[in-house]
């Protein structure tokens, strides 16, 4: 379905981003991966995707906290692979603390990576999409782009901002063949959530399953974690022709969290 398209997925060396990249490669898209990690492991992932799906796969370790590096990442994908048709702003970082004890440097870092990086990537990618008359932008916004939780001031602010930014870009690109959407997952088993589960588990003798149930109990009525495969399948749908008139949305994948 996506043969001949180029997808740039930030934060794609693990977790949600890697699942999205795999799903897009399965549909024939060439990939530009981005993220940190051990060089040998990243190269194994990159080469493995190329071999498994028969697509071109590049990688950049661009630091998304730096605006110039974000712009350079998009331009590198254009030079290396011929364009950026699909942009998935997925990279994110987290820190939890009451606002009176929230470190200002953590605030700046979270806003920079979770919100500003998406702005800089879209700013540079949209002109390339306009030239082709086709583009798909998908922003990882989290359920915290729709509701709040305690001790997550920077994360909630960034994700609410990302939902608003998504709507603005959707309006500015409406009718151009470009769509811009956000998706808002609840708890997904990733490295971002694992410390919260482990903190709960420590109160019940280190039982990870019990810690998971306790974390989900107050928030996610399904009592089940969202899977990265479910998220990836939704992103593939948003890139399809069937989703050409879906733009400016922020869809929860949250097991009923925001229905409460």
* Domain match, 182 and 200 both: no
Which is nearest to 153 in space by CA: 110, 212, 200, 208? 110
- 87-108 tens-digit pLDDT: 999 999 999 999 999 999 999 9
Per-run averaged pLDDT (10 residues), the chain, 260 residues: 96 94 97 95 96 97 97 98 97 95 98 98 98 98 96 98 98 98 92 81 83 85 92 97 97 95
* Domain match, 99 and 170 both: yes
- What pLDDT, on a 0 to 100 scale, did the predictor assign at position 200? 83
**Cα separation of 110 and 156, whole Å?**
10
CATH of residue 150: 3.40.50.720
* Domain match, 145 and 22 both: yes
Residue 213 domain flag: yes
- 190-200 tens-digit pLDDT: 777 788 788 88
Residue 1 domain flag: no
* Domain match, 212 and 163 both: no
* Domain match, 117 and 54 both: yes
Distances (CA, A) of 15 to 37, 66, 205: 12, 22, 27
**Cα separation of 191 and 234, whole Å?**
21
Give the domain extent around 177: 6-186+226-259
- What pLDDT, on a 0 to 100 scale, did the predictor assign at position 216? 85
* Domain match, 163 and 234 both: yes
Residue 48 domain flag: yes
- What total number of domains does the chain contain? 2
Q: Which residues are catalytic?
A: 155
């Amino acid at each position: 379905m996506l043969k001949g398209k180029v997808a740039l997925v930030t934060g794609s060396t693990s977790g949600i981003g890697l699942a999205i990249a795999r799903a897009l490669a399965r549909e024939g898209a060439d990939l530009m991966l981005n993220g940190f990690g051990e060089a040998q492991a990243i190269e194994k992932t990159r080469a493995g995707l190329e071999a498994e799906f028969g697509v071109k796969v590049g990688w950049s370790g661009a630091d998304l906290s730096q605006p110039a590096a974000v712009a350079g990442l998009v331009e590198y994908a254009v030079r290396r692979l011929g364009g950026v048709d699909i942009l998935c702003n997925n990279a994110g970082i987290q820190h939890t603390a009451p606002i009176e004890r929230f470190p200002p440097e953590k605030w700046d870092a979270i806003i920079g990576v979770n919100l500003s990086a998406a702005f800089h990537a879209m700013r540079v990618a949209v002109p390339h999409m306009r030239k082709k008359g086709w583009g798909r932008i998908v922003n990882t916004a989290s359920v915290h782009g729709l509701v709040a939780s305690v001790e997550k001031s920077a994360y909630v602010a960034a994700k609410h901002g990302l939902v608003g930014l998504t709507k603005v870009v959707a309006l500015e690109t409406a009718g151009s063949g470009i769509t811009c959407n956000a998706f808002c997952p609840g708890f997904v088993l990733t490295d971002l959530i694992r410390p919260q589960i482990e903190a709960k588990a420590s109160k019940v003798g280190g039982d990870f399953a019990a810690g998971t149930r306790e974390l989900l109990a107050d928030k996610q009525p399904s009592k089940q974690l969202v899977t990265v495969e479910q998220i990836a399948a939704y992103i593939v749908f948003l890139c399809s022709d069937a989703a050409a008139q879906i733009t400016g949305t922020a869809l929860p994948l949250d097991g009923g969290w925001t229905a409460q």
